[in-house]
Amino acid sequence: MIEPDHPDLSIGQQCKLLSIARSSFYYTPKGESEQNLALMRQIDEQFLETPFFGVRQMTWHLRNDGHLVNEKRIRRLMRLMGLMPIYQKPNTSRPAKGHRTYPYLLRGLRVERPNQVWCSDITYRKRPIATAVACP
């Protein structure tokens, strides 16, 4: 986008036209330190063994191994690595949108004698069929 060897426009003028700071053009990212890379390798190895470890448990594990780390650092590194622990999310028993609710076929029927109502499980079928049958 910015051409340093442009004959007519200086770098400052090009940056001004693009609405970016001139320091952004000269900035080069440093990357991670060797210590952080070693921590990331250890986090990755532990996460493969225990994918349910979150930031707190991972911090506790690394402290037990002798590393002086805090939760903020481990949270940043795990986010950088894209690691998300496996845990039960809230509202897992709620049906999805568009999920069809089938009517209760025995509503209003008084069951007064044996063998009046039968039930069977047909969950293996592709199309749902009524699971309750009322006998006359």
- Please state whether the predicted TM-score (pTM) of the whole model is above 0.75: no
Q: Which helix (H) or strand (E) holds 68?
A: none
What tokens were used for 14? 């090009």
Burial grade of 53 (CB within 10 A; 0-12, 13-18, 19 or more)? buried
Q: For the chain of 136 residues, list the mean pLDDT of each consecutive stretch of 10.
A: 89 93 92 94 96 96 95 96 90 82 89 90 63 55
Neighbours of 32 (CB within 10 A): 13
Torsion of CA 57, 62, 68, 70, to 10 degrees: -20
Helices (H) and strands (E) in the chain, counts: 5, 2
- Please state the three-class secondary structure of 41-60 as a single string: HHHHHHHHHCCCCCHHHHHH
pLDDT attached to residue 129: 57
